[in-house]
Amino acid sequence: MNRSITYIVLISVLAILTSFESYGQKTDTIVHVNGNILTGDFKKLNYGVVTWKMDGMGTISLEEPKISTIISSKIFEIKMESGRIYFGSFEAAEKEREVNLVLVNENILVKIEDIVEVYPIKKSFKTRLSGNFNLGANYSKGSNVATLQFSGNLDYRKRNSEFGLTWDTNDTYQGDTLSASKSDITLAWQRTLKKGWYADVSIGASQNLQLGTDLRWSLNLAGIKDLTYNEWNRLYAAVGVNLSREIPFGEGPTQDDVAGLIQVKWKVYKLWSPKVWVDADIVYLPYLTDDRYRFTFNMNPKVSIFSDNFKIGINVYYTYDSMPQTTDASNDDYGLNLQFTYSLN
């Protein structure tokens, strides 16, 4: 009996067993390319990695190229490399590295490598929540300078939409004195549209004493387009408008401005050992109400330690303001921190 016939027999038996299990334990099933059968709870798939919970082993990660097929009666939000989004469950296909998407009115056969995101549609608040928590620090005895950095994000997914909270604080101390502070917090809502487009609305607050900004409130309205999205990377761009109210550090008038918004983000995951994650983004804000522009760059490469939930890396940032609000403020600010990351869900 050749390999393909053996595979078809195996899938047929699994389909029968899963139909009975769906009335009891309601387990999901993944068939590994080496023939092993994994049963558990399908948590999500993104950037080529399946997050999978198994009894006795806890939560594990499985690379997408190692998956032969998937069986689950749950309802998932499934995004394809083409940008098309489906809502349905999984049935095994007759060929390896393929799966049937069971939709309301039809079944669609797709290649597993063409799937870039899978999220279960669940009612529980906790199961819809995911995020990262990052902690970094640097210290120089010679200069008696210490830097503390805390950042992270929490994402809450609903059908066709997502809420995201991100924050980033960098405080520099000279002895016991706070000599510089950079803080940002943003709450965003993103709505999935068609053909890889998203609508994005976000509000944020920031402070950068190095650039003379005591507090800046901002509202961003943007459209986002996926340029590249596959099992190992996502490159996307945003274009929109930025409305801001800025309070300078020390004495000075509050200023209201309107600016254009151009942003490019790149997220990478590579199946090396150790596993590597890289997040990078560039934001350019040309002001429409003043002869001014601002530019920011962030990059955060990480490698896994212990498990995919624990990572170590560096955080690099650079910020430039062509016209700070105070005369004694610097035009730019930059930093580098060693960072530890814990991922939730």
140 pLDDT higher than 70: no
- Whether pTM > 0.85 for this model: the answer is no
202 pLDDT higher than 80: yes
Q: 286: which residues sit within 8 A by CB, 6+ positions away?
A: 259, 260, 262, 293
Q: What is the 3-state secondary structure (H, E, C) of 217-265?
A: EEEEEEEEEEEEECCCEEEEEEEEEEEEEEEECCCCCCEEEEEEEEEEE
For 113, the 3-state DSSP assignment is: helix
Contact in structure between 129 and 120 (CB atoms under 8 Å): no
20 pLDDT higher than 90: no
For 290, the 3-state DSSP assignment is: coil
pLDDT band at 329 (very low <50, low <70, confident <90, very high): confident
Contact in structure between 345 and 144 (CB atoms under 8 Å): no
Summarised one tens digit per residue, pLDDT across range 66-80 is 999 999 999 999 999
Contact in structure between 193 and 200 (CB atoms under 8 Å): no
Instruction: Give Cα separations from 51 to 33, 150, 213, 319 (angstroms).
Output: 17, 25, 41, 35
* 60/134: higher pLDDT: 134
Summarised one tens digit per residue, pLDDT across range 221-231 is 999 999 998 87
pLDDT at site 304: 87
DSSP 287: B
342: enclosing H helix or E strand? strand 332-344
pLDDT band at 127 (very low <50, low <70, confident <90, very high): low
112 pLDDT higher than 90: yes
Domain limits, CATH 2.40.230.20, in the chain: 127-344
pLDDT band at 23 (very low <50, low <70, confident <90, very high): very low
* 5/190: higher pLDDT: 190
Averaged pLDDT, 222-248: 94
Whether domain 127-344 has CATH 2.40.230.20 = yes
* 171/216: higher pLDDT: 216
Averaged pLDDT, 31-59: 85
Contact in structure between 333 and 208 (CB atoms under 8 Å): yes
Mean of pLDDT over the chain: 86
pLDDT band at 49 (very low <50, low <70, confident <90, very high): confident
128 pLDDT higher than 80: no
CA–CA dist 306, 326 (Å, integer): 47
pLDDT band at 7 (very low <50, low <70, confident <90, very high): low
Share of the chain above pLDDT 90, in %: 51
